[in-house]
A and B are shown apart, each in its own frame.
Chain A
Amino acid sequence: MPMSAERKTHDIELLSAYLDGQLTEAERSALETRLQNESDLRQQLAELRATVALIRELPTMAAPRDFRLTHAMVGTNPQRRQPRTYAFSFVSAAAAIVLFVLGFGLLSSSMSTRAPLASSNVASDGLAATSQPPQVAIVPTQTQPPTIDVLPLQYAATDVIEQEETLRDQSGEDARSGADSQQAQATSLPAATLLFEPTMGADTFAGAEAANTGTAIEEFSTAAEQADEEAPAAELLLQAPAEGDTAAASVPLPTQSEAPAMLALQPTDKPTEMPAPALALPTATPLATEMASLTPTSAPTATPAPTSTVFPTPVPQPIQVPARPTDTGALGVILIAGSIVLLAAAVYLFLRSRRP
C-alpha cells in the first residue's frame, strides 16, 4: 500500500514516541490497533526498536588520555591562598595568643596566691588585717569542731594542726578562767577556733590571703560542714564562749582587749605556716572588727551560735583563698590547653590555605 512520505514520517514519529512511552492513552491504543492490522507498521516498529537498541548498547569508551585540569588550564595560581582560610588561620593564632596569656596569667596568679598563704600568713600581721576576719567567719559557721585531721590547705597542714592543738589547749584554758575571760574567751575562742579548724582554717587562711570573693562563702560552708562533722569537743569549747559572746558585737570589744591575749595564745603561730593563727593573732584588732562586722549570713551549716554569727560573713574571703589557687590554676591550665588547640588549628588552616 503506497504511503505518502508525510504519512511515513508521521508513523515513524508515532512509533518512536511509542517506544519511549510518550504517547497519550488515546494515541497508544489507536496505534496498537493499527499494529495488529498493519504488518508494515509492525515491521517498521521492529526495525526502529532494533536501531534504538543498537544505539543504546554502544559501549562507554575509555578516555584516550588524562583529562585532569592543571592550574594553567583554569587560570588560577597554584600558590594562591584561599583568602578565607588564610584569614581564619590568623584569627585562630591571635585567639591562641590571647588564651595563652590569660591562662598563663591566671596560672601564675594562682601560684603566687598559694605561696604567700602557705608561708606567711602567719608572719604577716598585715595579712591578718584584711583577710583574717574572714577566717573568723569560717569558724562560726560550724560548731567548729576542731577537725584537725582534715586539713584542706595543701600547705602547712601539719603545722596548722599542731598550731591548732596548741591553741585549743590554750583557749580551753582560757575559757575556763572566768566570765571575763569568757568574753575574752569568746573572742579568743573564735580566734582559736579558727586555728582549730584545720579545714576551715585552711580555707580561711587561703581566703584571707587571697582577695575576698563571694565564692569564699561556699568554701566556708563546705569547710563549716566538714567542721561540723568532726570534733564535737570543739563544740563544747565554742559553745561555752558562744554563750558568753552572745552577740558578735561583743566580740569586737573583748577582742581588742583580747588581742594581746590572743597574741599570747599563739606565739608560735606566726612562724608557722598556719595561716589561721597568723591571721588571728596579728590582727586581733582587725579581726575583732571583722568579727563584729561578721554576720551570720553564709554559714549554711552554721548552727546559729551567737559567736558563730559573728564570723560567717567575712569568711567568704578567706575561704576562697584556698579554693582560688586551685580553681584559678585549673582555669589557667584549661586556657593554656585551649590556646594550644587554637594554635594547632591556626597552623592547620594556614597549611590548608596554601592548597587551593
Chain B
Amino acid sequence: MSTVATQENEQRLIQAAQRGDLNAFNALVLTYQDSVFTVAYRIMGEMQAASDAAQEAFILAYRRLSTYRGGSFRAWLLRITTNQCYDELRRLRRKPAISMQDLPDADSDDGPALSADTDTPEEVVQQRELQNAIQQCINSLSPDQRVVLVMSDIEGFNYQEIADQLGANLGTIKSRLSRARAGVRDCLQAVKELLPSVFRLNSDE
C-alpha cells in the first residue's frame, strides 16, 4: 500500500502536523488507528482498556511529534502505543485483578476481528473462537512477557529493536520471548484439549 505518492503525502501530513495542524494529524490517526488499537488490545487484553490506551497513545504522539525524525511513522507510532500500554498494564496489574467479565468471550461481538470474506459462518465462528482463545492465552502472560511477545510477533520488531525500546539487553529479550511463546503454546494445548473443534482448523495448518 505504501506507494511513493502515499509516502510523500504522509510526509507532508506529518510536517503539517508538526507545525500544529491538528487536521493533518487526524488524517494520520485515521490511517493508523486500526493498527494502534490492535496493538493496544493485544497488550491490554480488553476492549475498554485498549480503547483508552489507544486514545492516550494518539494524544501522546501528537504532543511528541517533534521527536519523530523520519523513517517509518508507523513504527514510531506503535512504539509510543506499546510504551503507553505497557505502563498502563503494569499500573493496572498493581490494582485489583481485572474483572473476568471484561474479557471478550467467543460469543460477544466486542472483539471485532477482520476476517476473510470467503469463510463460511462456521469458519468465522471458529476463527473467532480461536482468536479469542489465543488472546486469552496472551492475557495469561506477565506484562514483561506479553509486551515482548506482542512487539515481536504482532508488531514485527526484531530482537535488537525491542531491546533498544525497552531498555533491556538482548539476552533478556531472548529469554522473555521464548518463555512467552512457550506459555502461549502450553495454554493453547489446554484449550485444544477442552475445545478440540477449535483446533480442527489449526491441525490442518
* Chain A interface residues (CB < 8 Å from chain B): 9, 12-13, 15-17, 20, 22, 47-48, 50-56, 58-69, 71, 73-74, 76, 78, 82, 355-356
User: Counting CB contacts under 8 A, is B25 at the interface?
Assistant: yes
User: Counting CB contacts under 8 A, is B38 at the interface?
Assistant: yes
A59 and B115 form a contact (CB under 8 A): yes
Chain B residues lying within 8 Å of A74, measured Cβ to Cβ, are 22, 59, 62-63
Residue on B with the closest CB to A352?
B21
Residue on A with the closest CB to B60?
A74
Rounded to whole angstroms, the CA-CA distance of A65 and B51 in the bound complex is 8
A58 and B154 form a contact (CB under 8 A): yes
Interface size range of chain B in the complex: 35 or more
A68 and B29 form a contact (CB under 8 A): yes
Rounded to whole angstroms, the CA-CA distance of A78 and B22 in the bound complex is 9
Rounded to whole angstroms, the CA-CA distance of A22 and B162 in the bound complex is 14
User: Counting CB contacts under 8 A, is B26 at the interface?
Assistant: yes
Chain B residues lying within 8 Å of A53, measured Cβ to Cβ, are 205
* Chain B interface residues (CB < 8 Å from chain A): 19-23, 25-26, 29-30, 33-38, 41-42, 47, 51, 54-55, 58-59, 62-63, 110-115, 130-131, 134-135, 138, 149, 152-154, 158-159, 174-175, 177-179, 181-182, 184-185, 188-189, 202, 205
B178 and A51 form a contact (CB under 8 A): no
B181 and A59 form a contact (CB under 8 A): no
Contacts A67-B29, A69-B59 known; A54 to B202 CB distance under 8 Å? Answer: yes
B202 and A12 form a contact (CB under 8 A): no
Chain A residues lying within 8 Å of B59, measured Cβ to Cβ, are 69, 73-74
Chain A residues lying within 8 Å of B63, measured Cβ to Cβ, are 74
Please list 27 pairs of residues, one from A and one from B, whose beta carbons are closer than 8 Å in the complex, sorted by A's number.
A9-B179, A12-B178, A12-B182, A15-B178, A16-B174, A17-B178, A20-B152, A51-B185, A55-B138, A55-B184, A58-B131, A58-B134, A58-B154, A60-B34, A60-B38, A62-B37, A63-B36, A63-B37, A64-B47, A64-B110, A65-B51, A67-B33, A68-B26, A69-B22, A69-B59, A69-B62, A356-B22
Rounded to whole angstroms, the CA-CA distance of A73 and B63 in the bound complex is 11
B20 and A56 form a contact (CB under 8 A): no
Chain A residues lying within 8 Å of B62, measured Cβ to Cβ, are 69, 74
Rounded to whole angstroms, the CA-CA distance of A85 and B64 in the bound complex is 22
Contacts A48-B185, A61-B38, A74-B63 known; A55 to B134 CB distance under 8 Å? Answer: yes
Q: Which of A50, A52, A64, A82 contacts B19 (CB 8 A)?
A: A82
Chain B residues lying within 8 Å of A16, measured Cβ to Cβ, are 174, 177-178, 181-182
